[in-house]
Amino acid sequence: MELRCAVQKYAWGKTGKSSLVAQLAQGNSTAPIVEDDPYAELWMGTHPSGPSVIKSSNEPLLNHLLSNVDSLGDEEKKVFGTDLPFLFKALSVAKALSIQAHPNKKHAEELFATRPDLYKDPNHKPEMVTAWLGPFEALCGFRPVADIKFFLQEIDELAAVVGKSACEALVKAESDSEETQALRECFSALMNTSEESVASALKQFEQRIPSLSAEKKDALQCDLFTRIATDFPGDVGCWSVYFMNYVVLQEGESMFLGPNVPHAYIFGDCLECMACSDNVVRAGLTPKFKDIDTLCSMLDYQAGPVDRFRMQWSTVDEFCQTCSPPVPDFGMARLRLPASATVDKAYGLPVRSNASILLILQGQATSAETKEDLSFGQVLFLKAGQQLTVQVKGEQDLIVYQAFANV
């Protein structure tokens, strides 16, 4: 079944046809692209904040699942009930998203019970991000402590807003537990500094940057800092550049973000798959509500290089790969079928024991089962055990990403 999917026009999204999301939306519906509008996210799934509908009937996908429970796999229903446990997205990021983290399952239930106006569902939100169409930039997890110490020693303005006591505690920390506690104190002190003090320190550092040598600017990642500070003047989140790892994912590379991992996407296009939730705790780089106390208390303060978040894809055959994050809510597969796979070489996607959603990211094909054409931007729902056999058309390789429950 082909799906029609929701577009989210958040302020940080790329505008008009420059947005992958807008391009996909055009392939997914008949709505015209508005060039000045930001097209931030395409949601594929059943989440109530952006539910997909069946194109042929306009029936919400969730309603279809409730009345056709055999669409879901047996293990999927046993673990998750009669709804899809995952939410699949495409994102087009023009400027940084908020400094954020997602609660674990127990904490999500507590937040939903006590503050449903802010936290809209009781589910956790582990997620996997995969770069598409070139480099994807992000901040992710706390840097090695040695790096953070270096920045605090080199940037007086940053040290001033963190405070002398917290800085000294981090510098003197020797054991891992001491470093973790000192890092918690430093980051919490930063996030709780008055807006006036933060804005003043940011302005002072921005004014000092032009006088630095090229080598010093590079060491202090001034280009990255300036880009973010330009978009979010006076925002405490600008200083997060010096606490969090800066990572650039190349096309097809992925990373997994578990509960309580601080992160912020900065620029580029990506695919995301996550547990079916929209719970986000924010504390910077956003005009939305900043729940600083909750964020600082819940964060994973384990420091280290960003490679610990990277995910590896496993080869199924010459055309298909899969990736299995350490959660049951979702897994992913991707297919790249070359244009040279002509008429005599139809390819059957591996049959899944659970329901799945497919997104066609490039190329054209024909379904051997329905004889219908498939093309860029189409989103398909496959019920558990359903076969899809495709035959490439045209001169482009066919590229498809697939999300499904990982049970």
Known binding residues for Zn(2+) are 100, 102, 127, 263
Q: At what angle do helices 195-208 and 222-231 cross, to 10 degrees?
A: 130
The amino acid that residue 98 corresponds to is: S
User: For the chain, what is the radius of gyration of the CA atoms?
Assistant: 23
Are the C-beta atoms of 86 and 276 separated by less than 8 Å?
A: yes
Greatest pairwise CA separation for the chain in angstroms:
71
Structural tokens at position 2? 């082909």
- Find out whether 81 and 61 touch, Cβ atoms under 8 Å: no
CA 33/CA 11 separation, integer angstroms: 16
Contacts of 358 (CB under 8 A, 6+ apart): 379, 380, 381, 382, 388, 400, 401, 402
Rounded Cα–Cα distance for residues 108 and 280 (Å): 10
Catalytic residue among 115, 184, 282, 352: 282
Tell me how many degrees the CA angle 298-131-122 measures, rounded to the nearest 5: 35
Residues 53, 20: Cα–Cα separation, whole Å: 21
4 beta partners: 53
Distance in angstroms (rounded) separating the CA atoms of residues 183 and 349: 47
Other residues' Cβ atoms within 10 Å of the Cβ of residue 116: 11
State yes or no: is 282 an active-site residue: yes
Q: Which residues are identified as catalytic? A: 282
